[in-house]
Amino acid sequence: MDSGAQPFDFGRKVDPKTFEKQIKEGYEVDMTRYLKEGWELFKSKPGEFILFTLILVVATAVLSRLDMIGSLAVSAVTPPLWGGFIIVVFMLLKGEAVQFGDFFKGFNYFLPLVLASLVMGVLITIGMFLLVIPGIYLAVSYMFVSMLIVNFRMEFWQAMETSRQIVTKNWFPLFVFALVLFVMNLLGAVVMGIGLLVTIPLSVCSLCVAYRDIVGLHEAGEMTIQ
């Protein structure tokens, strides 16, 4: 993560060679480990995770009721909030101390996160209209986009293409992983929605563990910038 991040810059272009190993040689997918370690991460800060999830859910629900203005507000606010989730989980994975305010540091990556969210939404929607399968392919393939933006301060289009190329190398096991997370959150919603306060952060923690194992967590000094 880049402590000098500016909310309205477009991000960096990272040397594609950084990801050659994952794209060319592939990797193993261990869904059980991702979920198990994700649960341990959640248990390390349960109160903070639940409170922030509540803030995210309530903010989204309130803003979505404001018609067109609300839709624009949701599009602008939710991607950085999800980015804050990722920042905190990355900090925990690196053994760093976490404060509640760290959840809001996703706004330091405002522009690339929002642009990625908007463009992915358009492409996935188009894919869904094209016999559904292309949309499902893209929805799974883009699972690491926000993490690449936060980890590398990568510009949004490269993050989208990098995630797609990495995930495509072992797409079906990651599709199963995404399906398990979807069902887990569906069950969380059934319990009067209260279960989502646990299943949402657990999903983010598990996805971040998968990212760490597949892509790796990189420090700013380790990056090669084009």
| One pLDDT digit (tens) per residue for the chain, 226 residues | 554 557 777 788 999 999 999 999 999 999 999 999 999 999 999 999 999 999 999 988 888 777 667 678 888 899 999 999 999 999 999 999 999 999 999 999 999 999 999 999 999 999 999 878 999 999 999 999 999 999 999 999 999 999 999 999 999 999 999 999 999 999 999 876 789 999 999 999 999 999 999 999 987 545 555 5
Q: Report the distance separating Cα 62 and Cα 55, nearest Å.
A: 10
- Residue 4, domain member (yes or no): no
- Residue 1, domain member (yes or no): no
pTM equals 0.91
- Residue 65, domain member (yes or no): yes
Distance of CA 212 to the CA centre of its chain: 12
**Residue 49: domain span:** 16-222
Contact indicator for 8, 111 with CB cutoff of 8 Å: yes
Q: Report the distance separating Cα 17 and Cα 95, nearest Å.
A: 28
CB burial of residue 157 (10 Å; 0-12, 13-18, 19+): middle
Give how far Cα 45 sits from Cα of 49, 68, 109, 132, 198, Å: 6, 36, 23, 38, 11
- Residue 2, domain member (yes or no): no
- Residue 8, domain member (yes or no): no
Give how many domains the chain has, as a whole number: 1
